[in-house]
């Protein structure tokens, strides 16, 4: 799906364990202005239910697994995240829902902008209208 892709991070480390470093300009698509993380969500809960007007994010499941259901207004695609060495890059107006959280799942999100409630589109019909106009 356009504007949504999985990024494979370069994994460093040695026999003591693995390490991923994310630096602006080096294997990372934008300047990070905000980091947040989500944990303690029950398996069947569905989070998200929104899109963003002007935000890029890279989403990493640093522990456990979960499913991201992305919708561009025409089709839906499910991304199963289960590796700290992969990030789901989302840019543009993409409706997202995420669910199927494993025990101990931690989702870390790297965002291109500061938190701004006005950037959210939380009405699905409005999302469809804006997605199909662009």
Mind telling me the catalytic residues?
Answer: 50
The pair of structure tokens assigned to 98 is: 């995420």
Give 13 or 40: the residue with its C-beta nearer to ligand T46: 40
- The helix/strand/coil state of 130 is helix
Q: With CA atoms as reference, report the closest residue to 68 among 37, 42, 94.
A: 94
Q: Does 91 bind ligand T46 (CB under 6 A)?
A: no
Contact call for residues 68 and 81 (beta carbons, < 8 A): yes
Q: Which of 29, 48, 64, 92 binds ligand T46 (CB under 6 A)?
A: 48
Residues 51-70 that bind ligand T46 (CB under 6 A): 57, 59
Q: Which of 96, 105, 127, 131 binds ligand T46 (CB under 6 A)?
A: 96
Compute the Cα dihedral for 44, 126, 79, 5 and give only its sign: negative
Alpha helices in 1-134 (DSSP H): 124-133
Give 10 or 76: the residue with its C-beta nearer to ligand T46: 76
Q: Which residues bind ligand T46 (CB under 6 A)?
A: 34, 36, 38, 47-48, 57, 59, 96, 109, 115
């Amino acid at each position: 799906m356009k504007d949504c892709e999985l990024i494979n991070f370069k994994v460093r480390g040695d026999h003591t364990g693995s390490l991923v470093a994310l630096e602006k300009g080096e294997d990372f698509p934008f300047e990070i202005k905000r980091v947040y993380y989500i944990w303690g969500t029950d398996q069947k809960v569905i989070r998200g239910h929104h899109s963003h007007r002007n935000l890029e994010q890279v989403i990493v499941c640093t522990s456990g697994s979960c499913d991201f259901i992305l919708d561009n207004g025409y089709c839906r695609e499910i991304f199963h995240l289960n590796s700290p060495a992969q990030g789901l890059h989302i840019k543009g107006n993409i409706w997202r829902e995420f669910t199927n959280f494993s025990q101990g799942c931690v989702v870390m999100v790297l965002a291109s902008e500061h938190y701004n409630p006005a950037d959210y589109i939380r009405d699905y019909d409005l999302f469809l209208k804006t997605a199909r106009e662009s």
